[in-house]
Amino acid sequence: MSQAEFALDEGLCYLNHAAVSPWPQRTVRAVERFADENARLGSRHFVRWQQIEQELRDYLRQLINAADIEEIALLKSTSEALSVVAWGIDWQAGDQVVITDQEFPSNRIVWESLRCLGVEVIEADISKRRDSAESAVIDAITARTRLVSVSAVQYSSGLALDLVAIGAACRRREVAFCVDAIQSIGARPFDVQACQADFVMADGHKWMLGPEGLALFYCRREWLSRLMLRQYGWHMVEAMGDFDNRDWQPAHSARRFECGSPNMLGTHALHASVSLLLEIGSQKIHELISEKASYLIDKLNKNGFNILSEVHPDRRAGIITFERPGVNTSDLYDYLQAQGVICALRGGGIRFSPHFYTPEAVLERALSLVLAFE
Ligand SMILES: Cc1ncc(COP(=O)(O)O)c(C=O)c1O
């Protein structure tokens, strides 16, 4: 069933889901239908489009086990959602934010941007304390810490942190907990209630198999009215559509973070993509990805490669980064690209990121090319 959903060119080894994913066929069809409808009818059925949008919110709610659809906003990127959080808190000079030393720039720069307010960014060194990365994060919390922000899965080391442990520690110390989940949601189960996150963000174009430009932003109910708003417009008010109302209030739901017209094209696409994920189930997807990761790690190990990413099945999602001693990684990357192995150069190695549907033949071909390179 799932294989038929993908129509990648033959000969292409697509191992780049941690960057940008190809779309399933149902997503391609949803976009085609939407384009056709726009050409013929314009926005005549806008109300139906809004229903798709609501359904998408609910799909995303299910995917992360959020308590309420009202905690879900649709923003344009992970970075935008991080910015909404960072610039929505009433910081005092001397406040601290804890991140890790492995974060993708989006989850570092945004906190560093607060230095002008006197906010200090503390980087927990999880690279040195790989086996106890959670303790490294928790140990970095001080009496001045207001927020901890980590990636659920690190973009280059592939390390999947124990969010439940970090979330519990944050809750005990009344520290807000923010999770950049773009490398996790769609690749492994994510339970926002179990990990007690206050904020979660993830763009749709990686493991959720959707288009770029549409991101999930979860904001715990208690925080909805606490985050200061920085973007305003017709769409974020409670009485949306009542254009004559001069006495506006921000929406009581997370829609308050969506200032203007929604990305309806992206909504139709992501709606289709996430429906596939829900049909298969996060646990099943995780198991399938994990099998592929184990296969790759095993073969690479046997052939003398260094695995730079996390290898323990409980501590990884879909990212496998490696290098070959004596081989120039950048040359190997160029060679793979030229041979149609779509992957990434990250953290000093080659990053492979297969998804649940990636056929074994693709893994074998990619490996044989890696092994053939001198
Ligand atoms: C961990 C992580 N966070 C954030 C981003 C950027 O996401 P966006 O483009 O949606 O802001 C990436 C992209 O690679 C990422 O890997």
Distance of CA 75 from the midpoint of ligand 1 (Å): 13
- 155, 184, 190: residue to mutate for ligand 1 pocket, most atoms within 8 A of CB: 155
* CATH architecture observed for domain 27-279: 3-Layer(aba) Sandwich (3.40)
Closest C-alpha residue for ligand 1 atom 3? 104
Distance of CA 335 from the midpoint of ligand 1 (Å): 26
Give the burial class of 26: count Cβ atoms within 10 A of its Cβ; 0-12 exposed, 13-18 middle, 19 or more buried.
middle
Residue 368: predicted pLDDT? 96
C-alpha–C-alpha distance, residues 168 and 172, integer Å? 6
Task: Label residues 76-114 b or e (16+ Cβ within 10 Å = b).
Answer: bbbbbbbbbbbbbbebeeebbbbbbebbbebbbebbeeb
Under DSSP, the state recorded for 9 is P
Contact 88, 228 (CB under 8 A): yes
C-alpha–C-alpha distance, residues 289 and 302, integer Å? 20
In single-letter form, the type of residue at position 242 comes to D
Distance of CA 211 from the midpoint of ligand 1 (Å): 13
Residues 6+ apart with CB under 8 A from 110: 79, 82, 83, 86
Q: In Å, how far are 54, 196, 269 from 214, measured between CA atoms?
A: 14, 24, 10
Q: Which residue has the tokens 């959602």?
A: 81
Distance of CA 17 from the midpoint of ligand 1 (Å): 12
Ligand 1 site residues, Cβ closer than 6 angstroms:
77-79, 104, 106-107, 151, 155, 180, 182-183, 203, 215
Write the secondary structure of 340-372 as one string of H (helix), E (strand) and C (coil). Answer: CEECEEECCEEEEECCCCCCHHHHHHHHHHHHH
Distance of CA 182 from the midpoint of ligand 1 (Å): 6
296 CA to centre of own chain: 23
pLDDT along the chain (374 residues), means of 10: 86 97 98 98 97 98 98 98 98 98 98 98 93 95 98 97 98 98 98 98 98 98 98 96 94 98 98 98 98 97 96 95 95 97 96 97 97 89
Same fold, 3-22+282-372 and 27-279: no
pTM: 0.97
Rounded to 5 degrees, what are φ and ψ at 149? Answer: -130, 115
Q: Which atom of ligand 1 is nearest to the CA of 82?
A: 11
Q: Which residue has the tokens 């069809």?
A: 29
Strand partners, 349: 346
Distance of CA 110 from the midpoint of ligand 1 (Å): 12
- 203, 208, 321: residue to mutate for ligand 1 pocket, most atoms within 8 A of CB: 203
Q: Following DSSP, what letter does each residue of 101-162 receive, concatenated?
A: TT--THHHHHHHGGGGGT-EEEEE-TTTTGGGHHHHHHHT--TTEEEEEEESB-TTT-BB--
- Maximum CA pair distance of the chain? 70
Edge-to-edge strand order for the sheet containing 145-151?
Answer: 72-75, 215-219, 199-203, 176-180, 145-151, 96-100, 120-124
Residue 42: predicted pLDDT? 98
Q: Which atom of ligand 1 is nearest to the CA of 154?
A: 1
Residue 374: predicted pLDDT? 80
- 84, 104, 208: residue to mutate for ligand 1 pocket, most atoms within 8 A of CB: 104
> Which tokens go with 144?
């001045």
Q: Which residue ranges make up each domain of the chain?
A: 3-22+282-372, 27-279
Distance of CA 276 from the midpoint of ligand 1 (Å): 22
Residue 1: predicted pLDDT? 52
Quote the Cα angle for 331-335-212, to 5°: 100
Fold topology of 3-22+282-372: Aspartate Aminotransferase, domain 1 (3.90.1150)
Q: Which atom of ligand 1 is nearest to the CA of 106?
A: 4
> Which tokens go with 260?
């203007």
C-alpha–C-alpha distance, residues 145 and 50, integer Å? 40
Distance of CA 136 from the midpoint of ligand 1 (Å): 23
C-alpha–C-alpha distance, residues 71 and 93, integer Å? 29
Distance of CA 157 from the midpoint of ligand 1 (Å): 14
Closest C-alpha residue for ligand 1 atom 7? 78
C-alpha–C-alpha distance, residues 186 and 154, integer Å? 15
Closest C-alpha residue for ligand 1 atom 16? 155
